[in-house]
Structure 1
Amino acid sequence: MNALRKARLVAAHEGRTAVSLGLWAVRRRDGVGGGTEGFGYARAQASMLYSLVFVAVIETAGLAVLLSGFPVAHLITLVIDLYGVLFVLGLHAAAVTRPHTVGPAGLRVRAAARLDLLIAPELIASVRRDVRFPAAKAPDDVLELPIAGQTSVTVELTEPVGYRTLLGAPRHTRTIRCHADDPAALIASVRARCYRRRNQPERPLTPARTAPSAAPVPPPSAGPAAGARAGAAARPGRRRRGR
């Protein structure tokens, strides 16, 4: 059952990657618009992935020539090589079409099609530029999302936030290190939108206005004289003038 669940998660990841290829073809980005800004992070890895695509294409052409006398082997390797080319292109497309976003709901940190983590504004303690080149495994409460071996933005949270890995393993993080093509713009947007919403004071409640109280009504047994005295008591008194 566990293996079946992991297979479903991998298939879902492949589906998101395929959708990203379609979005990339029509130059659209997921989750951007309607008051939500997008901040890309794929520029640093573009040259490397395009180089891999070029090598994969050359390999596909070379194997097609070498295996031209073996139709079955040729077909198998052709399918595998084409899948490899599409997979590498899909990785880049997912990174381009699924950027980090900042909007009314908070900061949305992404890593292509494998991670999508939404952080509410009230959970962001600080955000700063912090260039790192992680080489060792990060602590359990630190989520590192390097691009081309580097991160440039560090987000500290007020409390741990849960997420799941590609294969569904539960994790919690209190520090997020990610990369952005323009770290200064991302940091400025988070500080302007998330900090302002988090620190916005609550508006005081306005007390409800009520109508003025009516004059007391005398009991029926008091007679008209008592009613007159009660009405006179309800009206503001006048100061007598001396004669």
Structure 2
Amino acid sequence: MTTTDTAPQPSVLARTGSWILRALRVELGIYASIGRAVARRPALPPGASGHSYHRPVLTILIVFIVLSAVEIPVIDLIVHRWPLVRIPLLVLGIWGVTWMLGLLCAFLMRPHAVGPEGVRARNGLEIDVPLSWDDIASVEIARRVDEERSPRIADEDGLRTLSLRIADETNILIALERPTPIRLPGLPPKGGEHAVGAVRIWVDDPQAFMRAVARHI
């Protein structure tokens, strides 16, 4: 049982406040990711190697960015005569393109990390799960395809498992020595603190990931 299974449901005020703070953190993360991309400085702990996970969604992200960019001049041409409509739509369009670029940069600049302290399992803008070597029992290549909209945390072979899927797939299984608390963005039951016995992630190059693990584990 996770630490959130018996927790009282948060109030409407708590949920609203959490949503606002989370949205603010995401917005700041967008610009921080763009800044890291411009400076070519991935978010990696000292001595750690980065392992990408963006390959399955890269084409989709690029298509959305291109479509969003093309949409701006098209809409501007349509509403050019009405400044009160044109200006807000321009601002919204530019913000949308910036947001999509920031999301792409987050995938590129926040890779999984393997280093002296352990593994940091990441996904996009928000999720960053640190796992120390003392907590890790084993790491193996184990590809798995889940159904769409599968829960992020579920029981699997008797273990509470966190799955950080990319396009519904994972290919690395990290088994933990004991139920280990991890924190997800948002409020319970889907967010907050959970105790998990395994973590599944997707890595673009699982062999390189395993070589990095072998150097440290």
1: CA distance, partners of 2:181 / 2:20: 22
Which residue in the other structure is 1:15 paired with? 28
Match of 1:189 in 2: 212
Greater Rg, structure 1 or structure 2? 1
Q: Are residue 156 (structure 1) and residue 175 (structure 2) matched? A: yes
Contact 1:10 1:167 in 2 (8 A): no
Q: Give 1:86's match in structure 2, choosing from 98, 108, 118.
A: 98
Deviations 1:74-101 (A, max 9, x none): 1111111111111111111011111111
The corresponding residue for 2:123 is 111
Per-residue deviation, 1:43: 2.4
Q: Match for residue 203 of structure 2?
A: 180
> 2:129, 2:183 within 8 Å by CA — same for their partners in 1?
no
Q: 1:39 aligns with which of 24, 29, 51?
A: 51
Normalising by structure 2, we get a TM-score of 0.82
**How many residue pairs were aligned?**
193
Corresponding residue number in structure 2 for 1:232 = none
Deviation at 1:158, TM superposition (A): 1.5
SS class of match (2:89):
helix
Q: What's the C-alpha RMSD, in Å, of the aligned pairs?
A: 1.7
| 2-structure distance, mates of 1:161, 1:11 | 28
Deviation at residue 188 of structure 1 after TM alignment: 2.3
Answer 1 or 2: higher relative contact order, Cα 8 Å, separation at least 6.
2
Aligned residue identity for 2:64: L
Q: Which residue of 2 aligns with 1:56?
A: 68
Aligned to 1:73: 85
Distance in 1 (CA, whole Å) between partners of 2:31 and 2:146 is 29
Alpha-carbon deviations, 1:39-88, whole Å to 9, x = none? 11122221110100111112112111111111111111111111111111
Q: CA–CA distance in 2 between the matches of 1:75 and 1:82? A: 11
TM-score w.r.t. length of structure 1: 0.74
| Partners of 1:35 and 1:27 in 2: CA distance | 17
C-alpha separation between the residues in 2 aligned to 1:7 and 1:179? 29
User: More displaced, 132-141 or 169-178?
Assistant: 132-141
Q: 1:208 is matched with which residue? A: none
